[in-house]
Amino acid sequence: MKKISLIAILLSGILFLENCKKDTVVATSVSTSLMIANIKDSTWYTDTVTSTLTFNSAAKTKTFTCEGTAFNRRITISLTKSTSINSSGFPLGTYTVDATPNLQLAFLTPQRDSQGNIVYTPNGVVAPGSGSVVVSAVDSVKNLITGTFSFTTLVNNYDTNGNITSVTVSGISGGGFNSVPYKFTTN
C-alpha cells in the first residue's frame, strides 16, 4: 500500500511540476518615432529631431549631429570621424566616449538663465567609457541614418562649503535613432 501511495504522490508531483511552466513573454514593440530612449527608467520618444552630416575639408573629418527633443528633455549626439572622402555616407561601427571630443553625448533639461529665458542645459557629464553609439545603417542616397546609443550622466551636488554631498546619476539606455533624415553639408 505504501508503494502505491508513494507512486501516486510522485506522479502527482510530476504532473504538477509539468503544468507549472514559466510564462514566456514574446513581444516586439515598434516605434514610429525617429528617436527613442529610456531615460531614468521611463520611455522617452521625440516629437522633434534634427540631424546633419558635415564634411570639414580642412580637418578631413565628418561630423554627424543628431538632436531629439520631447517632454522637456533633449538628447544630443555629436560623432566625429576622420576621413578624406567628401561624400554623404558615414562609416558603420561602434563608437565609445573616450578622452577625445570625437563622441559627445548629452542629456539636457530646461532651466531659466539669468535673463529669465528658458534654455536647455546639460544634466551632468558623460565620463570616458560610460557611453556609446552604434551606427548600424546609412543610406547615403536618401540621407538616412540608423543606430543605437546609451550613456550615463553624472552630476556632483555640493554643499555651501564646496564639498560633494551626493552624486545624481541619469541612465539613458536602449536609445535608438531609426532612419533619421540628415542634411549633408561641406565646409
Owning domain of residue 113: 32-186
With respect to residue 16, please indicate whether it lies within any of the assigned structural domains.
Answer: no
Only one residue has cell 540631424, namely 51
Residue 28 is predicted with a pLDDT of: 46
Domain count, the chain: 1
Residue 27 is predicted with a pLDDT of: 43
Tell me, what amino acid is at 122? Answer: P
Report the alpha-carbon distance of residue 81 to residue 104 in Å, rounded: 12
Ranges in the chain, pLDDT < 70:
1-31
CB half-sphere exposure, 11, CA atoms < 13 A? 6
With respect to residue 6, please indicate whether it lies within any of the assigned structural domains.
Answer: no
Other beta carbons within 10 Å of 155: 13
Residue 7 is predicted with a pLDDT of: 60
Residue 47 is predicted with a pLDDT of: 86
With respect to residue 2, please indicate whether it lies within any of the assigned structural domains.
Answer: no
Tell me, what amino acid is at 114? Answer: S
With respect to residue 4, please indicate whether it lies within any of the assigned structural domains.
Answer: no
Residue 8 is predicted with a pLDDT of: 54
Residue 112 is predicted with a pLDDT of: 93
With respect to residue 55, please indicate whether it lies within any of the assigned structural domains.
Answer: yes
With respect to residue 112, please indicate whether it lies within any of the assigned structural domains.
Answer: yes
In our burial notation (b when 16+ CB lie closer than 10 A, e otherwise), range 72-101 reads ebbbbbbbbeeeeeeebbbeeeebebeeee
66: buried, middle or exposed (CB in 10 Å: 19+, 13-18, 0-12)? buried
Report the alpha-carbon distance of residue 80 to residue 99 in Å, rounded: 13
**pTM of this prediction?**
0.79
With respect to residue 37, please indicate whether it lies within any of the assigned structural domains.
Answer: yes
With respect to residue 26, please indicate whether it lies within any of the assigned structural domains.
Answer: no
